[in-house]
Structure 1
Amino acid sequence: MAIDVRGMTPLIQVYDMPTSLAFYCDVLGFEVHNSSAPVPNCGWAWLKLDGVDLMLNTAYDDDDRPPAPDPRRIGAHDLCLYFGCPDVDAAYEYLLSRGVKARPPKVAPYGMKQLYLNDPDGFGICFQWPAA
């Protein structure tokens, strides 16, 4: 018998919570569902957008945070969040209008139209949908 799973909520470690919340909420449209303290200066936040859940947690306690992100930590990210997005081209135009650097959408060999970018912490994000 399989486990009865009803969803999944990834948690990613971020360097600067206000910057990450601005990206995920103000640019991508997520809303804060819950947080450990008032936003944006919280250490943890649970975000929601159209049935998609994502949690953010600060990578450092306030007194342990280095003055700048550690490039080794960012370089070690091996995670990409894939979002279903029926109009990948419109998402690309929207993101460009918001100043987000993204590569133009391309169709992968397996038939998915995909738009890749990185969040402020270097995590991969892909908006994708089956190509017409």
Structure 2
Amino acid sequence: MSTTNTSAKPINIQGSAPLLSVFNMPASVRFYRDLLGFDLVQTSDQQPEREDDFYWALLRLNGVELMLEPRGEKSCPKPITANAWLDRHDMSIYFGCQDLEQVYTYLSSNGVDLQAPSSTSYGFKALHVRDPDGFLLVFHWPES
């Protein structure tokens, strides 16, 4: 094991952006941009063949970033196997969001299937949502 050089400055990380491999790029772009309110900041294609069908996209909302890329071929919403869906359940994205009741009302009024926010074992209130690809999104905030 190497020793740490304590005289060197630590890495100055400025942010983090998870990269999600999605089955249907246009559906995912619409979910994050049109429903959740993310801005489409940068894409690989300036004029894609199909609307919102990029090879890569960077989205941002209030300093929170995430990236999308198609899993496999770009314009290819092929039938999804059961094993492919299992991959979706090994990662969650947590978003700090104070007004969970407002998020619940907004998402449910837009046809998203979800349950009301609930208390967690770690002292937070949380609202769980699955995106079009099955990734778990958790909107949460400490209970006071």
Per the shorter chain, which TM-score range? over 0.9
Distance in 1, matches of 2:118 and 2:133, equals 23
The answer on 1:23 being equivalent to 2:31 is: yes
The answer on 1:5 being equivalent to 2:5 is: no
Distance in 2, matches of 1:14 and 1:76, equals 11
Residues 77-115 of structure 1 show CA distances to partners (whole Å, capped at 9, x for unaligned) of 201110000101110111000101112111112110000
Partner of 2:80: 69
Distance in 2, matches of 1:89 and 1:99, equals 16
Residues 46-68 of structure 1 show CA distances to partners (whole Å, capped at 9, x for unaligned) of 000000000000001247x4622
Partner of 2:105: 93
Letter in 2 for 1:22: R
Number of aligned positions between the proteins: 131
1:54 counterpart SS class: strand
1:87-126 aligned within 5 A: 87-126=99-138
Cα 1:43/1:103, change in 2 over 3 Å: same
2:40 counterpart SS class: strand
What is the root-mean-square deviation of aligned Cα atoms in Å? Answer: 1.5
The answer on 1:79 being equivalent to 2:91 is: yes
Cα 1:81/1:23, change in 2 over 3 Å: same
Cα 1:66/1:46, change in 2 over 3 Å: closer
Letter in 1 for 2:61: L
- Structure 1 segments of 4+ aligned residues over 4 angstroms from their partners: none
- Please report the TM-score for the alignment, with normalisation by the length of structure 2: 0.85
Structure 2, gaps ≥5 residues long = 1-5
Cα 1:121/1:48, change in 2 over 3 Å: same
